[in-house]
Structure 1
Amino acid sequence: MTYTDPSPVDGRTGWGEGPVRRAYWPLVGAAAGLLGGIATLALDLHLSDLNNDTDTMTIDQVGEVNVTIARLSFLAGYITVALLLITAAAWRRHVEPRVPGSTAARVVSGGLTASAAALTLGYGWKGAMAIYGDGGPEDTAFDQQGQYIYFMLNDFGSFIGWLGVLIAAGAVSWMALRERTISRWIGWVGAALVALPVAGFIIMSVPGLPGITMPVWMLVTFLGLTFGKSTITR
């Protein structure tokens, strides 16, 4: 079955016609989720990466931080930032003109952009740890206390920055469940992945929980937008 495309052509007046083609721009968002999950979770600099038999990180152990992992996380993270910005720009181009009355649609692009800005710092501190940590090219630039400060910044740095994506996920769920411009199953998945960090905020005041669920949300949601039947990508 073919449909008439209701969106303007290249921003001009007049309307495009012809068979529906699958929208592939959301794959950039899926890639951001996949790479962001690797940079944030798989390459995280947390206590289990250290030769530590206790639950407490001490300043004497800062030299055990793996600067190679920090470097890889930094590089993967900065690519993730670029992909988030591209996804936000593509969303503004392809989605917002199709739902001009939706405030939620504009929250999505704003949330992705906000996360890109915050994660620039979060992943940047990974790069700093790779430079100034023990074994890095400038590991004598800071003493042990200075290196420990960079480790502390990395504890939640690349997790907190996903808050903007959490807000975007809530907006997508609103579009799916209230406005019905996105497949409802995407809305329910988003609602569940948003609810978990929000519960953590309220119960335990843990700020980095979006970094655990939001890469998964991006991967699932933007694959769903590519291969599903949402109105905004039809």
Structure 2
Amino acid sequence: MAYTDPSPVDGRTGWGEGPVRRAYWPLAGAAAGLLGGVATLALDLHLGDLDNDTDTMTIDQVGEVSATTARLSFLAGYLAVALLLVTAAAWRRHVEPRVPGSTAARVVPAGLTASAGALMLGYGWKGAMAIYGDGGPEDTAFDRQGQYVYFMLNDFGSFIGWLGVLIAAGAVTWMSLRERTISPWLGWLSALLTALPAIGFLVMSVPGLPGITMPAWMLITFLGLTYGKSTITR
């Protein structure tokens, strides 16, 4: 008989003997990471569709942005936002009652929610580019200078919003390596993928670095929570 008692746990005592029921709610977080990676990186408007002979982006490049790419990125991004909110709600329901003394456990859904709010804007600007850019249904609504505003907003727009997830990853690091309620390998992974953008902040002051590592963190970590042996999900 599977053990389903949602009573508090900690990493030192675990769940006791007997089989346990696997938790599948973290798959929403893994899907958010996958879709976020596609929307932010694979469909980045400033990489795949521009002829970048120089490092300088100019107003003339606005016309090179694919409205189709912008639309696909917008749709994938908004799905990722929805899944971030679902994951935050599921974490509050399933994890927080089991670790009532953990502040870090409450930081995780707060970070995911903060990112969801910011990414609504980041991916929304991609949707605007799909509408107002060349080939969009309202591509005559703004002149080239107006289109260029959306072009510039999309430079870091869908990258900056991942900062909240970076903070959540830091909290998972603490839960794993200090509180021992999450598998150690997830803690070390979280520490690495959190440290890389943090070092970049200090050295280069680039605000969009979380968007490079955090989608992968979401995908791997929440798959690990589903199929691994963390006490908060077993």
| TM-score, length basis structure 2 | 0.93
> In 2, are the aligned partners of 1:33 and 1:218 still within 8 Å (CA)?
yes
Q: Distance in 2 between matches of 1:231 and 1:3?
A: 15
Letter in 2 for 1:73: S
1:112 is aligned to 112
**Residue 51 of structure 1, CA deviation:** 2.2
Q: Distance in 2 between matches of 1:49 and 1:135?
A: 14
| TM-score, length basis structure 1 | 0.93
1:11 is aligned to none
Letter in 1 for 2:6: S
> In 1, are the aligned partners of 2:88 and 2:112 still within 8 Å (CA)?
yes
Q: Deviations over 1:75-97 (max 9, x none)?
A: 00000000000000000000000
Q: Deviations over 1:101-144 (max 9, x none)?
A: 00000000000000000000000000000000011000000000
Residue 125 of structure 1 pairs with residue 132 of structure 2? no
**Residue 222 of structure 1, CA deviation:** 0.4
Q: Distance in 1 between matches of 2:204 and 2:190?
A: 21
Q: Distance in 2 between matches of 1:191 and 1:26?
A: 19
Percent identity over the alignment is 83
> In 2, are the aligned partners of 1:47 and 1:57 still within 8 Å (CA)?
no
RMSD over aligned CA atoms reads: 1.5
Q: Distance in 2 between matches of 1:3 and 1:48?
A: 49
Give structure 2 stretches of 5+ with no counterpart.
8-17
Q: How does 1:41-56 map to 2 (within 5 A)?
A: 41-56=41-56
Letter in 1 for 2:31: A
Detail structure 1 runs of 4+ shifted over 6 Å in the superposition. none
2:28 is aligned to 28
Residue 154 of structure 1 pairs with residue 154 of structure 2? yes
2:6 is aligned to 7
Q: How does 1:44-123 map to 2 (within 5 A)?
A: 44-123=44-123
**Residue 202 of structure 1, CA deviation:** 0.3
SS in 1 for 2:39: helix
Letter in 2 for 1:183: S
**Residue 55 of structure 1, CA deviation:** 1.4
Give structure 1 stretches of 5+ with no counterpart.
9-17
Q: Deviations over 1:139-161 (max 9, x none)?
A: 00000000000000000000000
1:178 is aligned to 178
> In 2, are the aligned partners of 1:111 and 1:167 still within 8 Å (CA)?
yes
Q: Distance in 2 between matches of 1:233 and 1:51?
A: 47
Q: Distance in 1 between matches of 2:4 and 2:82?
A: 29
SS in 1 for 2:37: helix
Letter in 2 for 1:105: A
